[in-house]
């Protein structure tokens, strides 16, 4: 009779989709919906650890979980209780490399007792990876002192990583786990383990300090709260950000992962059908001419209109205009009559505090501003991690989109607050400007799509055509940046005068800000070459960025649908960086694009019915 009752109960849980407690056991094993990925949680010898296998092979060796709070190591002397499980199967709209995000996963909430305290470990296991975290109940005066998360990658894999920078603007380089030394590194980073690509990062970063990692003496990547070295005191519940391990069998699967976004709460109900949140392309004067001049603002609007772009961004320097807000209102008015909408730069110190922020946003919205680019937030400690959310909410109340610049890495908050349409947190084109006397590592561009952009959109400000600003890149490489780097607020860094006069103006005006489908093409390898095919509606764009060495590519066009397509092919001219080998012809899915690329070269193709 007991067996019958247990079987009947389990059937009822399965039929009605209810959460169900399992019998206490070790290890707690959760499998992905397709069964390929498994996460295993144990407390052997009292230490809380988890490991990840793919097809039965270990990808992440037993790695520790824990938080040091009030001198108590929550992760030591741990005893696991009976988990409660649930399945997730949902789809939602997404701005980025594809239009629909898929969230299919199995989750377990595992009660744990350690050091006289009870808390939960959450496991989220999806077809594209694993998230784990601790959840602590409210406790008056709790002192959070340190984070004990680590990752133990199998073997000594190749890594593509960037050293820690508070603004996440370091160069990505090819290295290996064994060669990281004692330096600190920021997320995301990507490793290749066997035939798998594995990206490490965190998600749902709120009311908690940003995490960096260092290689420990035993080879583990040890997490630490670099901006909260003294910790913090809180009476509230403590929800550790998800510690994320994305797993992909190929680069196409990697760049299409939405695990970071999936681990965030669903969209705030007030924004579920917000028609004022609109991806688009923008002109921007900072890289072209430095601070904006009031006397040529109408010309900038006219250039924007001529290119067919939706937005114009007025950057730092506008506040020095005479009667700055009134002058800005006149720019917005002129732009509106020409079908162009205006974004506004501001320093984070202007919107740091709640009341000042709300007043600033109301003032901006009242004169016609549709988006704010907020620059220079400090290193992301626990207080600032919550500031991002408060700022997004206050901006949404005024129907303002947001671009966080000089910001920490993305952690998926754009799912909850889709008005946060992009952020920087990337070493972008500003570092490549001649007036700053900096050069970009030639491998950096080819690594970014497979590291930083796995976590979310990035405001790289791509594409310059002025010869002195190329600094080794070709026009083909520069234009391909706009295809390969995703940013729903696609703010172009070059001078629109150069765009309007360029022989590739039609292609430049056709490249969209968001995509319906993305494929990574054969020959792509982080640090060497990035070749992407992206679809928007019934047109495809092919973008290729080459790294530091010559490359030979044979790219099949089998992603095209049946029939004949109009084709525009923009290739490099050998020995002349500021020129096009342009060909306008036709293409079919049986065709190939064959390329001989010089260092820092590139190619863009535009295919439409």
Of 413, 408, 402, the residue nearest 424 (C-alpha): 408
Q: Are 208 and 382 in contact (CB under 8 A)?
A: yes
- pLDDT for res 434: 86
- pLDDT for res 439: 77
Q: Are 217 and 182 in contact (CB under 8 A)?
A: no
Q: Are 411 and 207 in contact (CB under 8 A)?
A: no
- pLDDT for res 21: 45
Q: Is 294 helix (H, G, I), strand (E, B) or coil?
A: helix
- Residue 145 host element (H or E): strand 142-147
Alpha-carbon span 574 to 580, nearest angstrom: 10
Angle, helices 382-397 vs 354-366, to 10°: value is 30
Residues of the chain under the 50 pLDDT cut: 1-23
Alpha helices in 279-381 (DSSP H): 286-289, 297-307, 324-337, 354-366
- pLDDT for res 165: 95
CATH architecture of 22-262: Distorted Sandwich (2.70)
Q: Which residues pair with 150 in a beta bridge?
A: 222
- Residue 60 host element (H or E): strand 57-64
Q: Which residues pair with 112 in a beta bridge?
A: 80, 119
Same fold, 22-262 and 269-510: no
Q: Is 548 helix (H, G, I), strand (E, B) or coil?
A: coil
Q: How many CB atoms lie within 10 A of CB 9?
A: 12
- pLDDT for res 433: 85
- Domains of the chain, by residue range, sit at 22-262, 269-510
Alpha-carbon span 349 to 358, nearest angstrom: 13
Q: Are 411 and 204 in contact (CB under 8 A)?
A: yes
Q: Is 172 helix (H, G, I), strand (E, B) or coil?
A: strand
Strand blocks (E) in 171-276: 172-176, 184-193, 196-203, 212-215, 221-224, 232-234, 238-239, 242-248
Q: Are 271 and 417 in contact (CB under 8 A)?
A: yes
Q: Are 442 and 432 in contact (CB under 8 A)?
A: no
Of 521, 449, 527, 545, the residue nearest 158 (C-alpha): 527
Burial grade of 169 (CB within 10 A; 0-12, 13-18, 19 or more): middle
- pLDDT for res 481: 98
- pLDDT for res 25: 56
Instruction: Judge if the upstream peptide bond of residue 161 is cis by omega within 30 degrees of 0.
Output: no
Helices and strands (DSSP H and E) totals, the chain? 14, 38
Phi/psi of residue 162, nearest 5 degrees: -130, 140
- pLDDT for res 366: 98
- pLDDT for res 432: 85
Q: Which residues pair with 214 in a beta bridge?
A: 184, 222
Q: CATH topology for 269-510? A: TIM Barrel (3.20.20)
Catalogue the long-range contacts made by 269-278 (C-beta closer than 8 Å, 24 or more residues apart). 270/396, 271/396, 271/417, 271/418, 271/419, 274/396, 274/399, 274/418, 274/419, 276/370, 276/399, 276/401, 277/401, 277/418, 277/419, 277/421, 278/310, 278/401
pTM: 0.95
- pLDDT for res 10: 40
Of 253, 403, 211, 384, the residue nearest 314 (C-alpha): 403
Of 282, 317, 265, the residue nearest 103 (C-alpha): 265
CA 108 to chain centre: 26
Alpha-carbon span 482 to 536, nearest angstrom: 14
Percent of the chain with pLDDT over 90: 92
């Amino acid at each position: 009779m007991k067996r019958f009752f247990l079987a009947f109960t389990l059937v009822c849980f399965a039929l009605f989709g209810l959460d169900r407690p399992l019998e206490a056991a070790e290890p707690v094993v959760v499998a992905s919906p397709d069964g390929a990925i498994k996460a295993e949680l144990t407390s052997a010898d009292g230490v809380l650890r988890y490991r990840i296998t793919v097809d039965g092979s270990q990808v992440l060796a037993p790695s520790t979980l824990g938080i040091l709070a009030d001198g108590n190591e929550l992760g030591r002397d741990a005893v696991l209780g009976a988990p409660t499980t649930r399945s997730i199967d949902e789809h939602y709209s997404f701005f980025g490399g594809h239009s629909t995000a898929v969230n299919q996963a199995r989750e377990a909430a595992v009660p744990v007792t350690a050091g006289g305290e009870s808390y939960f470990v959450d496991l989220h296991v999806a077809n594209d990876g694993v998230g784990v975290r601790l959840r602590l109940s409210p406790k008056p005066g709790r002192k959070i002192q340190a984070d004990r998360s680590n990752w133990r990658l199998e073997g000594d894999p190749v890594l593509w990583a960037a050293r820690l920078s508070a603004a996440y603007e370091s160069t990505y380089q090819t290295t290996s786990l064994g060669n990281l030394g004692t330096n600190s590194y920021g997320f995301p980073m990507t490793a290749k383990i066997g035939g798998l690509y594995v990206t490490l990062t965190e998600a749902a970063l709120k009311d908690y300090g940003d995490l960096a990692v260092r290689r420990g003496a035993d080879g583990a990547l040890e997490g630490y709260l670099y901006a909260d070295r003294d910790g913090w005191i809180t009476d509230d519940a403590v929800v550790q950000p998800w510690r994320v391990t994305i797993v992909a069998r190929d680069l196409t699967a990697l760049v299409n992962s939405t695990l970071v976004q999936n681990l965030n709460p669903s969209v705030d109900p007030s924004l579920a059908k917000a028609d004022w949140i609109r991806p688009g392309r923008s002109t921007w004067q900072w890289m072209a001419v430095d601070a904006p001049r009031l006397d040529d603002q109408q010309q900038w609007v006219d250039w924007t209109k001529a290119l067919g772009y939706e937005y114009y961004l007025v950057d730092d320097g506008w506040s020095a205009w005479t009667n700055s807000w009134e002058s800005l209102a006149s720019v917005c008015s002129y732009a509106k009559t020409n079908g162009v909408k205006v974004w506004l730069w501001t320093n984070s110190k202007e919107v740091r505090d709640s009341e000042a922020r709300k007043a600033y946003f109301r003032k901006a919205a009242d004169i016609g501003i549709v988006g704010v680019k907020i620059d220079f937030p400090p290193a992301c400690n626990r207080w600032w991690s919550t500031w991002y959310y408060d700022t997004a909410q206050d901006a949404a109340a005024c129907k303002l989109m947001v671009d966080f610049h000089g910001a920490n890495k993305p952690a998926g908050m754009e799912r909850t607050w889709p008005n946060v349409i992009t952020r920087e947190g990337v070493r972008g084109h500003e570092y490549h400007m001649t007036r700053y006397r900096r050069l970009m590592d030639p491998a950096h561009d080819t690594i970014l799509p497979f590291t930083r952009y796995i976590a979310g959109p990035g405001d790289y400000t791509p594409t310059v055509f002025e010869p002195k600003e190329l600094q080794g890149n070709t026009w083909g490489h520069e234009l391909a940046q706009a295809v390969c780097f995703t940013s729903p607020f696609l703010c172009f860094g070059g001078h629109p005068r150069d765009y309007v006069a360029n022989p590739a103006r039609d292609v430049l005006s056709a490249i969209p800000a968001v995509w319906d489908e993305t494929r990574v093409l054969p020959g792509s390898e982080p640090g060497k070459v990035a070749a992407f095919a992206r679809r928007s509606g019934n047109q495809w764009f092919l973008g290729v960025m080459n790294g530091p060495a010559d490359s030979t590519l044979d790219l099949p066009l089998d992603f095209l649908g049946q029939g004949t397509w109009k084709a525009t092919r923009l290739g490099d001219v050998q020995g002349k960086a500021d020129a096009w080998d342009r060909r306008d012809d036709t293409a079919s899915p049986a065709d190939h694009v064959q390329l001989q690329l010089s260092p820092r070269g590139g190619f863009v193709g535009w295919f439409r019915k």
